Amino acid sequence: MTRYLTVGLLAEGPEDEIFLGTVAVRQLKELAAHHSGHFDVGDTPLRGRYSTARTAHEQICAEVADLAEDCDLLLIHNDHRERNKIDKIRRDVAPPSHCRIVGVVPVRETEAWLLADGPLLGSLPGAVPEHIPAGARGVERAADPKALLSRVLPGGDSRELAGFLGERVDLDRLRTLPAYQMWCAELTAALKELRFL
């Protein structure tokens, strides 16, 4: 019998939510396909109303507690410099036994993950090839991934780009990034705890 995995997402900003929501679903579907666990996941995570960057801790905790009631996995995103916020939420919110909280913390900013697939970026109209990082692992060393992405694709709509790249970025390239590997390991551990894997 196939189980259904319900996923929720709280992110810092709209572009983060668009990209990470799409990538999370793709990654979870790939985990389901490559393991003996039989589960399915919907195409769109449940989303919170608040930004993890601009909302008071107490309000975020209330949102987490509310979403956790309806989720098996609740993904909470913060950029690397704000990763302690996720630990604080974990200390202050006790999710129900059917839910696990998993942090999503790219090095520096989510834009580092958007930059991971150089060949895909280079195929886009208006891309400036000389600014595309030579290898996927190099993107986590970029001091300002958001500025670098703007140089790679000047004048692009950031939300549209987040959606496009979320649907098409090569997950194998993302898995070469240490921060992404850590996230996948935490996802896998949570799914095992919940007996989806």
Quote the pLDDT of residue 28: 96
Domain boundaries, the chain: 3-193
Give the pTM: 0.93
The CB density around residue 197, as the number of other CB atoms within 10 Å, is 18
Q: Over 70: is that where the pLDDT of 80 sits?
A: yes
Quote the pLDDT of residue 68: 96
Quote the pLDDT of residue 34: 84
Q: Burial code of 124-155, b = ≥16 C-beta within 10 A, e = fewer?
A: eeebeeeebbeebeebbebeebbebbbebbee
Quote the pLDDT of residue 37: 62
182 pLDDT band (50/70/90 cuts)?
A: very high
Coil, strand or helix: which one is 19?
helix
Residues above pLDDT 90, as percent of the chain: 75
Name the β-bridge partners of 4: 40
CA 128 centroid distance within chain: 26
Q: Over 80: is that where the pLDDT of 1 sits?
A: no
pLDDT digits (tens, 9 = 90+) for 109-155: 899 999 999 999 999 999 999 999 888 777 888 889 999 999 999 98
In terms of Cα–Cα distance, which of 93, 123, 116 is closest to 166? 116
Question: Using alpha carbons only, what angle is made at residue 22 by residues 62 and 26, rounded to the nearest 5 degrees?
Answer: 115
Average pLDDT along the chain = 92
Find the farthest-apart pair of alpha carbons in the chain and give their distance in angstroms, rounded: 50
Angstrom distance (rounded) from CA 67 to CA 73: 10
* Two tokens, residue 154: 């000047």
Q: Over 80: is that where the pLDDT of 91 sits?
A: yes
Q: What is the DSSP string of 92-106?
A: H----TT-EEEEE--
Q: At what angle do helices 178-193 and 14-34 cross, to 10 degrees?
A: 60
Q: Over 80: is that where the pLDDT of 105 sits?
A: yes
* Two tokens, residue 48: 């919170």
pLDDT digits (tens, 9 = 90+) for 33-78: 887 767 899 889 999 888 998 889 999 999 999 999 999 999 999 9
